[in-house]
Copies of this chain bind each other. A is one copy, B any other.
Amino acid sequence: MPLLKSENRSDEGPRGRRGGRTSRTASRRLPSFIGPAKPLSRTIPTYELLDEDDLLRLEEHSDWILDEIGVEIHDGEALDLFRQAGARVDGRQARFEPGLVRALCATAPPVFQMFGRNSTSDITVGGDSVVFVPAYGPPFVSDLEGGRRYATIVDFENFVKLTQLSPWMHHSGGTICEPVDLPVNKRHLDMVYAHLRYSTKPFMGSVTSVERAEDSLQMARICYGTDYLDNHCVIQGNINVNSPLVFDRVMVDSLKAYARANQGCVISPFILGGAMGPVTQPALVAQALAEAMVGIALTQLIRSGSPMVLGVFLTTMNLRTGAPTFGTPEANLATYAIGQLVRRLNLPLRAGGHLTSSKVLDAQAAQESGDTMLVGLQAGANFVLQAAGWLEGGLVIGYEKFVFDLDRCGSHSRMLTGLLVDDNTLAADAFREAGTGTSFLGVSHTMANFETANYQSDLADDTSFEQWSADGSLDSAHRANLRWKEMLANYHPPPFEQDVDEELRDFMDSKKASDEDRWY
């Protein structure tokens, strides 16, 4: 059952959830880079790289992989469910007749809603909707003054706050960075708390063990209410397949936990061509499709109708050094192909993101990020994880990179709305008024349209060289350094019910007291 907006939800909403369209910050006069999330709907066509013959061939190859090679699943329940559904199970290996896995995916909703702590934070996932989500996973953080260092819970909270502040981020993300100052077995509590407390946007919980996944779900229940959670998706698990063609125990456990709770998963094979899959992109595309479909199929066997996102995270390697590379032509072409195939499955697609292997916010970072993102959006991405902050192949989240990427998400938000051809935009009267050889600056049409005609970048500098020099000759990275500090200075936590806060803290305290700290 698709989790579309429930009919009987009151404006007050469940506990911990505040209704209405305003928040404390929204009523103040704020710069353009701060504000409630702006819902984004694509009105431009997707890019169709491959023809029908090629697409059929890739689908058949996915089917062949599942039928002849199969997938290895380290979980008895999952193997049983697949056997009952018709798979041929041999030890941990499951093999599938052509078409079977695709058919099992059919109950996953093509479009679903996720709910935040107020109605302005609710989002739609799938269809024409596009959702930007921050970086996930970096153990390191960097900024211009502090350099590159291990991330802490303070960094984590800062990025939750920056995400909450941005009108271009629709989702609070998950492990925006790893707070490595906290014990490995307890940091998920503080991360989930930060998402609930400092953001109103939907978010992701822990997937690093079934207990941590259950803790994440339980904290969401404390905040949103147990009944509410059973039919409203507020939290997701980010599930990576252990490519090639392996679903390991931890990931399957977490996948099952989220699906059973009727919450979402983003299921993304992560494949470097030449390492976790063949070196040629068409093979990777077929493999990624096969792996992701098996993950989706499993969620549907656990709970039919649970809301899933089919992700892909394919990229290239430098085949001389083994280093992953991003925004490359081969990775981009593969993304277009995956987009076409996932549309034929009618599932929400994760693709894109601002990915780079650069160490700093330089030209390489912007180029690799920019191409990955533009291509992902043209490929039809609905859910764009890693949309802000990534550096160094995901090892680092950069403060400057984060706000640079936010501005890019704003620009793409305009791009996705397309070119409206109508009487106003054709501007016949402007031509009549200006005639030939004169400026359009003063004509009525320009005056009436100039404030809304263009997306105005928050960070790009288009002043004269003289003005730019007088302002300190700051490059993008140095301007971005000023920006993230200005944003954090403008942050005010959203309202939060005190009893919910206390219950969350009690839960965390009791969990933390119940086990030793572990650092590995």
Contacts and interface: CB of A to CB of B under 8 A. Distances in A.
Interface of A: 44-45, 47-50, 54, 57-58, 61, 64-65, 68-72, 93, 148, 242, 244-246, 273-283, 286-287, 316-325, 328-330, 332-334, 336-337, 357-371, 374-375, 378, 392-393, 395-396, 404, 408, 411-412, 414-415, 418-422, 424-428, 430-432, 434-441, 443, 445-446, 449-451, 453-457, 459-465, 468, 473, 475-477, 480
B359 A362 contact: no
Contact of A325 (B334, B421, B457, B459): B457
Contacts of A361: 363
Q: Which 4 A-B pairs have the closest CB atoms?
A: A329-B415, A363-B366, A278-B427, A366-B366
B415 A332 contact: yes
Contact of A453 (B68, B280, B396, B462): B280
Contact of A319 (B65, B367, B368, B453): B453
Contact of A454 (B275, B330, B431, B443): B330
Contacts of A412: 329
**Identical subunits present:** 2
B359 A461 contact: yes
Contact of A321 (B360, B365, B426, B463): B463
B449 A61 contact: no
A80 B462 CA distance: 43
B438 A337 contact: no
Given A54-B421, A275-B439, A358-B460, 15 more contacts: A49-B418, A49-B419, A54-B419, A58-B426, A72-B436, A244-B431, A244-B435, A274-B441, A275-B440, A278-B440, A279-B445, A318-B456, A358-B461, A362-B366, A374-B374
With most chain B CB atoms within 10 A of its CB, the pick from A54, A274, A358 is: A274
26 contacts: A45-B49, A57-B421, A58-B426, A72-B436, A244-B440, A274-B450, A277-B440, A278-B440, A278-B449, A282-B426, A283-B426, A323-B464, A324-B462, A328-B454, A329-B414, A329-B455, A330-B454, A337-B419, A357-B461, A357-B462, A362-B362, A363-B404, A363-B475, A363-B480, A370-B371, A374-B375
Contacts of A425: 280-283
Contacts of A443: 278
Given A421-B57, A454-B319, A465-B148, A476 B358 contact: yes
Nearest to A448: B279
A321 B54 contact: no
Contacts of A316: 453-454
A411 B49 contact: no
A79 B232 CA distance: 70
Contact of A278 (B70, B374, B446, B454): B446
A335 to B, nearest CB: 10
A279 B363 contact: no
Contacts of A446: 274, 278-279
A282 B420 contact: yes
Nearest to A420: B282
Contacts of A375: 374
Given A276-B440, A366-B364, A426-B282, A432 B69 contact: yes
Given A418-B333, A425-B282, A437-B246, A454 B325 contact: yes
A436 B395 contact: no
Contacts of A441: 274-275, 322
Contact of A419 (B72, B281, B362, B437): B281
Contacts of A366: 362-367, 370
A436 B70 contact: yes
A457 B286 CA distance: 26
B319 A424 contact: no
Nearest to A56: B421
A427 B62 CA distance: 12
Contacts of A368: 460
Contact of A363 (B286, B318, B464, B476): B476
Contacts of A325: 454, 457, 460, 462
Given A328-B455, A366-B370, A460-B357, A449 B279 contact: yes
Contacts of A357: 460-462
A453 B475 CA distance: 35
A365 to B, nearest CB: 6
A441 to B, nearest CB: 6
A356 B395 CA distance: 29
Given A45-B48, A419-B50, A454-B330, A367 B364 contact: no
A362 B148 contact: no
Nearest to A416: B329
Contacts of A273: 453-454
A427 B279 CA distance: 9
Contacts of A281: 419, 425
Contacts of A464: 323
